[in-house]
């Protein structure tokens, strides 16, 4: 009897299912990472603008945000590190 819930968990389609899920996860990770980099660039521009306008409080706030994001990026890259680079 055919069991549809086991169709992608065994046999020749199991690896295809796993590979397609890994691919989808990689695409979503890259989308989120790219969005985060764009946001980081906006914060960097705001920090530079604050420095040019001698707004040291805002510049310090933006520098703190950048330090936080840089730490998150480093942690994320360390988590996703493999022998060949990022998982994709």
In tens, the pLDDT along 28-48 reads 888 988 999 999 999 999 999
Assign residue 23 a region (left: φ > 0; alpha: ψ between -120 and 50; beta: otherwise). alpha
Report yes or no on 60 lying in a domain. yes
Report yes or no on 2 lying in a domain. no
Helix, strand or coil, per DSSP, at residue 86:
strand
Name the helix (H) or strand (E) containing 82: strand 81-82
Closest CA to 16 of 68, 24, 2: 24
Report yes or no on 36 lying in a domain. yes
Instruction: Please tell me the total count of domains within the chain.
Output: 1
Low-confidence stretches of the chain (pLDDT < 70) are 1-12, 82-88
Tokens read off for 19: 């590979």
Q: Give me the pLDDT at residue 88, please.
A: 45
Report yes or no on 70 lying in a domain. yes
Report yes or no on 1 lying in a domain. no
Closest CA to 3 of 11, 18, 21, 22: 11
Domain hosting 40: range is 26-82
pTM: 0.67
Q: Give me the pLDDT at residue 77, please.
A: 83
């Amino acid at each position: 009897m055919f069991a549809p819930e086991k169709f992608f968990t065994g046999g020749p389609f199991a690896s295809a299912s796993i590979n397609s899920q890994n691919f989808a996860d990689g695409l979503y990770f890259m989308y989120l990472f790219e969005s985060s980099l764009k946001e980081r660039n906006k914060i960097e521009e705001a920090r530079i603008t604050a420095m040019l306008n001698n707004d040291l409080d805002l510049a310090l706030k933006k520098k703190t945000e950048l330090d936080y994001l840089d730490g998150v990026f480093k942690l994320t890259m360390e988590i996703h590190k493999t022998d060949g680079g990022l998982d994709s």
